């Protein structure tokens, strides 16, 4: 039993912990570190353990959940929780129609002033009624049918954004009876974190998960689910110290209840339209789900004058956005190949209008996700599209007879399995250890990866074809002029100038750049082939170790893993690439087109700078940064991007910045271009 005269320290701990929790969970502006809060919390726990008679149901320690219930008790609402009429017109005219109805009911003419409204978010959660008596939370109930709900007090106590006790500010009195109404919801980031913590649970979306958590018979389970709350109104109230709805919300906020920051006043229909459009544009950036906005006449006396129709208030309306989730049927599951070779299972759907567009495809992300959701051909599924996000299948909706163990396996299509070869080019599809995705290994040969492989091959750090950028590659591939890398070296002047916006001089520049690119180095050529996991450093290590391309192409896994920094995953990737005949064919065709390099020279080049670390900064008189890097690495040096105590030399050119300053501070030796070349034994 709660003691009538608790010690002052107990009351002080209640007040401090409630204030700090409000600052942390509601205001998102903590004033004390977590360790300080935890220390005070432990002190309160110790006091209550020593004196159980001091335990208050509204104590901060009582948010962890109590004894599991056998069933929820019914609660009859003192003031019915009526539903708001939904405006199904999702366009601007939906707001205009509401304003027209309100003005007509109020008997206003065109010459009368605009009506002031409050515009709020329509949260996608579960409505609850919180009853406070003398400032203490005594009961929480779901909306239910509007007249009768379920008692979820134990579960609501676990939501840290909901105050267990409210107090007036500066001596202001709290109504003896106050019912605060609002929405229990789950933030998107909290939902994603929960799915990661409990991957075995079939969590569908934040709304369903929040509703399920609030209706748990065991409140200790609810306490483990990260629920949040927004207040948006009141029910029974012994006295109302406000005259407008906006003032009501600001008072609730002052008393410690979270109120959505996007809530605002709007004057007339045009400002309602502007609010609807503004929230619609930022809808997908919000940290929680909404399915529309709500408009309410601001003045409470006008609300009373407008009254109700069929148990719906005339003074409020929910203005929705196009639905983001709909039911449809999976017609097939196909595998698409991205420009980087990633294989993605895609559900082909019976056309459905969702998120403002007609959707016929939805991603299943990868094999693991498709199998986890157990999506099969013929299934009815929930498909979701939010803004510009690619539509995805959220979950499967099974008929009652198929729910449960076995899930009617004989009545459904086979479980999806990713093909082991690319559906576009028939190259081997590989899923590496620790990876979720399968990837096509035929980058040089696969038409789905054609543009990406050409751009990679032509980039500055590979063979470098100046002027061959995204737009030109897109034109060449889309026109069917270039299908493989060797086709680049078969380009003619007439084919280039025939392209849109291609001047004769530009066409000649491209041809000259292609001719120049034929003289490259083995590391650049290797890197340009786009072998998975073979970046610039690995390409250089392979060239240094083996000396010739043929030796690399024929090297065994054991020989490849003998190369510094080449592990089994990289070795297998190299081996898989060169084991495919079409990749070798592309290499041979490039050689036949005149692409050459000096083989073996790197292996025999002296390494006078082995073990030395250089940093390059500024602009050099005769060398580009890349040329300087190549010279240093060919001499065995490591070129780093940042200066540290382990840096041996900084090579500084014109307009050298913070790297030079840091080198001088650390006492690192600074060279100019000529001193670096002298160290390399190169004359310029």
Q: How far apart are CA 558 and CA 179, in angstroms?
A: 74
Cα angle vertex 621, ends 618, 623, to 5°?
Answer: 85
Pull the structure tokens for residue 158.
């676990």
Catalytic residue among 122, 540, 629, 659: 122
Scan for tokens 């380009």, then name that residue: 491
Scan for tokens 């692409």, then name that residue: 595
Using CA atoms, how far residue 122 sits from 64, 84, 90, 521, in Å, is: 29, 11, 14, 62
CB 577 within 8 A of CB 583: yes
Q: How far apart are CA 559 and CA 546, in angstroms?
A: 9
Q: How far apart are CA 75 and CA 128, in angstroms?
A: 12
CB 651 within 8 A of CB 617: yes
- DSSP notation for 275-325: HHHHHHHHGGGSSS-EEEEEEEESBHHHHHHH-EETTEETTEEEEE---SE
Question: What number of other Cβ atoms are within 10 A of residue 571's Cβ?
Answer: 20
107 alpha-carbon distance from chain centroid: 49
Pull the structure tokens for residue 174.
């709290």
Is 490 among the catalytic positions? no
b/e 117-156 (16+ beta carbons within 10 angstroms → b): bbbbbbbbbbbbbbbbeebebebbbbbbeeeebbbbbbbb
CB 394 within 8 A of CB 204: yes
DSSP state of 22: I
Task: Give me the sign of the Cα torsion angle 627, 630, 633, 634.
Answer: negative
Pull the structure tokens for residue 91.
């366009």
CB 307 within 8 A of CB 300: no
Pull the structure tokens for residue 374.
């157990």
Q: Work out the end-to-end distance of the chain between its first and last CA atoms, rounded to an integer number of angstroms.
A: 92
Scan for tokens 């005594």, then name that residue: 138
SS (H, E, C) 384-404: ECCCCCCCEEEEEECCHHHCC
Catalytic residues: 122
């Amino acid at each position: 039993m709660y003691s009538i005269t608790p010690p002052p320290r107990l009351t002080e701990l209640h007040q401090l912990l409630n204030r700090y929790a409000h600052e942390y969970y509601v205001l998102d502006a903590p004033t004390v570190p977590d360790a300080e809060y935890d220390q005070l919390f432990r002190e309160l726990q110790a006091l209550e353990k020593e004196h159980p008679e001091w335990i208050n149901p509204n104590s901060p320690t009582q948010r962890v959940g109590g004894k599991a219930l056998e069933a929820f008790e019914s609660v009859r609402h003192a003031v019915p929780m009526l539903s708001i009429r939904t405006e199904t017109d999702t366009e601007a005219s939906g707001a205009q129609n509401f304003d027209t109805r309100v003005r007509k009911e109020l008997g206003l003419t065109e010459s009368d002033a605009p009506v002031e409204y409050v515009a709020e978010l329509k949260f996608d959660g579960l409505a609850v009624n919180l009853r406070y008596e003398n400032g203490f939370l005594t009961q929480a109930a779901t909306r239910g049918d509007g007249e009768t709900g379920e008692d979820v007090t134990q579960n609501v106590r676990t939501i840290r954004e909901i105050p267990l006790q409210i107090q007036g500010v500066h001596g202001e009195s709290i109504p003896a009876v106050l019912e605060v109404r609002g929405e229990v919801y789950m933030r998107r980031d909290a939902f994603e974190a929960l799915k990661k913590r409990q991957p075995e649970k079939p969590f569908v979306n934040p709304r369903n998960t929040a509703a399920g958590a609030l209706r748990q018979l065991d409140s200790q389970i609810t306490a483990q689910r990260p629920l949040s709350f927004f207040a948006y109104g009141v029910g029974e109230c012994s006295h109302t110290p406000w005259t407008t709805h906006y003032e009501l919300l600001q008072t609730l906020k002052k008393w410690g209840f979270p109120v959505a920051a996007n809530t605002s006043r709007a004057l007339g229909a045009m400002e309602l339209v502007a609010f609807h459009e503004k929230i619609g544009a930022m809808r997908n950036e919000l940290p929680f789900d909404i399915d529309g906005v709500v408009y309410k006449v601001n003045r409470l006396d006008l609300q009373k004058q407008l009254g109700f129709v069929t148990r719906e208030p005339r003074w409020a309306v929910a203005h929705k956005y196009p639905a983001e989730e709909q039911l449809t049927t999976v017609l097939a599951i196909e595998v698409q190949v991205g420009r980087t070779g990633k294989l993605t299972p895609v559900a082909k759907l019976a056309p459905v209008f969702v998120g403002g567009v007609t959707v016929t495809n939805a991603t299943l992300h990868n094999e693991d996700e498709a199998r986890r959701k157990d999506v099969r051909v013929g299934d009815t599924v929930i498909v979701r599209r939010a803004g510009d996000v690619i539509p995805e299948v959220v979950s499967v909706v099974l008929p009652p007879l198929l729910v449960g163990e076995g899930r009617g396996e004989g009545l459904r299509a086979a479980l999806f399995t990713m093909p082991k070869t690319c559906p576009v080019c028939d190259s081997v599809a590989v899923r590496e250890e620790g990876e979720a995705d399968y990837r096509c290994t035929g980058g040089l040969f696969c038409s789905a990866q054609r543009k990406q492989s050409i751009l990679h091959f032509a980039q500055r750090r590979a063979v470098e074809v100046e002027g061959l950028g995204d737009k030109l590659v897109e034109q060449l591939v889309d026109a069917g002029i270039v299908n493989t890398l060797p086709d680049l070296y078969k380009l003619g002047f007439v084919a280039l100038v025939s392209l849109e916006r291609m001047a004769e001089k530009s066409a000649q520049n491209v041809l000259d750049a292609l001719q120049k690119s034929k003289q490259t180095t083995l590391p650049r050529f290797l890197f340009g082939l786009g072998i998975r996991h073979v970046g610039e450093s690995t390409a250089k290590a392979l060239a240094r170790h083996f000396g010739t391309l043929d030796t690399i192409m024929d090297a065994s896994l054991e020989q490849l893993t003998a190369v510094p920094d080449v592990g089994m995953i990289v070795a297998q990737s190299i081996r898989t690439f060169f084991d495919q005949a079409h990749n070798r064919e592309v290499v041979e065709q490039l050689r036949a087109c005149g692409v050459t390099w000096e083989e073996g020279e790197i292996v025999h080049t002296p390494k006078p700078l082995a073990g030395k670390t250089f940093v390059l900064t500024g602009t050099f008189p005769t060398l580009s940064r890349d040329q300087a890097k190549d010279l240093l690495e060919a001499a065995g040096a490591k070129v780093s991007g940042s200066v540290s105590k382990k840096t041996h030399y900084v090579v500084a050119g014109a307009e050298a910045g913070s790297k030079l300053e840091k080198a001088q501070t650390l006492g690192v030796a600074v060279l100019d271009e000529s001193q670096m070349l002298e160290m390399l034994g190169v004359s310029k």
